[in-house]
Structure 1
Amino acid sequence: MALNPKFAGQRLLFGQPSSSTSGVPPAVHTLELFLDYVCPFSAKQFKTFYHSVVPLIKENPKWASNLQIIFRQQVQPWHPSSTLVHEAGVGVLQLAPEKYWDFSDALFKAQLEYFDEPVVNETRNDTYRRLAKLAATVGVDEQALYNLLAIKDKVPEGSIGNTGNKVTNDLKLQIRYGRLVGVHVSPTVIYDGIVANDISSSWTKEQWQEWLAKNLD
């Protein structure tokens, strides 16, 4: 449930936890959403959660002050473009963390454009260029993001190659966390450190509302 401060943009927190008269420090529940940008089921869950459930949480002071939400990037490497789109997400975290959820929303809406077939005949850097243009639609600096993502076509002096790009090390941390907690399927939801197998990608706003009431009221 820990979140590296450099990835703070992945967290949504709408209120401060209430203090306790017993002297026990205030704390919040943690809901982690493990999502892959090119997974249709992840897109379905994100759409409902971001556009319907988040407003419910904001409107309920008790929920807002007792829950933090974390977007966990779950790369699914059997789709090669999954790595590329998640690199773009990491790049946005570096450049404009306040735009991360809006970029994720835009990317999920455009995910068909990054499935296997649309990317198979373009170069890796061409895919990055399209992702940077998409990020620009939510206010991220297009050229700055592309500069983070682009792969050089020449091996740097003093290197044997395979140096990656400027988000490679941060992407490794994202992947390492998912492996550490044993997440494989996307989407996966973890609530307070335990996989919530009852939560489905097809859940409606009303089903989420019922679950939140049960777990936060």
Structure 2
Amino acid sequence: MSGSLRPSLSFQRQGSPSSEHTLDLFVDFQCPKSALITKSIQDNLIPLISPGGKLDGKLAIVFRSAPQNWHISSAYLAETAFAVGRLTGSSAAFWQTVLVLFENQSNFFNVRASGLSATQIREEAASLVSASFKGGDASVSSADILKLTTNQGAPNGPTTVTEDLQYNVKFARQLSIQHTPSLALDGIVQGHNFDGGIVNGISSSWGAPEWTAWLKDVVRV
């Protein structure tokens, strides 16, 4: 099950789909520790699993959205990321969106978000992400993002990307993911942060030495 994705969600994977191992990353866009571990993975693992990297073909990383109920904005931010993935079909563009949303997560923390409507949160997220693509290889407009993140149809109707979020939530529940960040290597949960403690060995504050040791001992590379 680890590493499995609907073909339409292949953009959630960083690294080769034929890699020997898959690391599933379960995060919440409002969770500070999720932001920390995502940055750590960007700095220490993404270069290694990119084409030509030391771990190219050996390790892939799959982003899994696991929004926590007590975070007002998290599901809306996840839908913004899925919208970019759908619009571009690009894992690079999707990952860029993930990084931008985490870098600006304080804009969407509960105290501020409690004074905003769902529409305002979606509009702000879309504008923020769209601006990050200006001058780059990909072009994503806030209007196009909002077309996919606006509720449609019936009074209680979903957005176009609601099914993408539902798929991610169902996947996390199957592994009994309760807190973020959590990680699973080849389907086996490796660890998570809870109440400031580290459970089962992986810390959101890991740097190159810790990841190097873990890769050697666990992934055996």
1:76 corresponds to which of 68, 77, 93: 68
1:138 corresponds to which of 132, 135, 145: 132
Change (3 A) 1:97 1:206: farther
Deviations 1:4-42 (A, max 9, x none): 11111110115x86xxxxxxxxx6111111011110000
Q: In the alignment, which residue of structure 1 is the partner of 2:197? A: none
Q: In the alignment, which residue of structure 1 is the partner of 2:206? A: 203
AA paired with 2:81?
Answer: G
AA paired with 2:116?
Answer: E
1:58 deviates by 4.0
Deviations 1:81-122 (A, max 9, x none): 111111112212211232100000000000000111121112
What CA RMSD, in Å, does the superposition of the two structures yield over aligned residues?
A: 1.9
> Are the aligned partners of 2:14 and 2:49 in contact in 1 as well (CA < 8 Å)?
no
Q: In the alignment, which residue of structure 1 is the partner of 2:23? A: 31
Whole-Å Cα distance in 1 between the matches of residues 89 and 204 of structure 2?
25
- 1:1-217 matches, within 5 Å, as 1=2, 2-14=4-16, 28-58=20-50, 61=53, 63-98=55-90, 99-139=93-133, 140-151=140-151, 156=153, 159=154, 161-197=155-191, 198-214=201-217, 215-217=219-221
> Are the aligned partners of 2:13 and 2:60 in contact in 1 as well (CA < 8 Å)?
yes
Identity of aligned pairs, percent? 29
Gaps of 5+ in 2: 134-139, 192-200
SS class of match (1:69):
strand
> Are the aligned partners of 1:56 and 1:209 in contact in 2 as well (CA < 8 Å)?
no
With normalisation by structure 2, the TM-score equals 0.84
SS class of match (1:63):
coil
1:125 deviates by 0.7
SS class of match (1:77):
coil
> Are the aligned partners of 1:125 and 1:151 in contact in 2 as well (CA < 8 Å)?
no
Q: In the alignment, which residue of structure 2 is the partner of 1:21? A: none
> Are the aligned partners of 2:49 and 2:57 in contact in 1 as well (CA < 8 Å)?
no
Change (3 A) 1:90 1:57: closer
> Are the aligned partners of 2:28 and 2:68 in contact in 1 as well (CA < 8 Å)?
yes
Rg comparison, structure with higher value: 1
1:190 deviates by 0.2
AA paired with 2:212?
Answer: Q
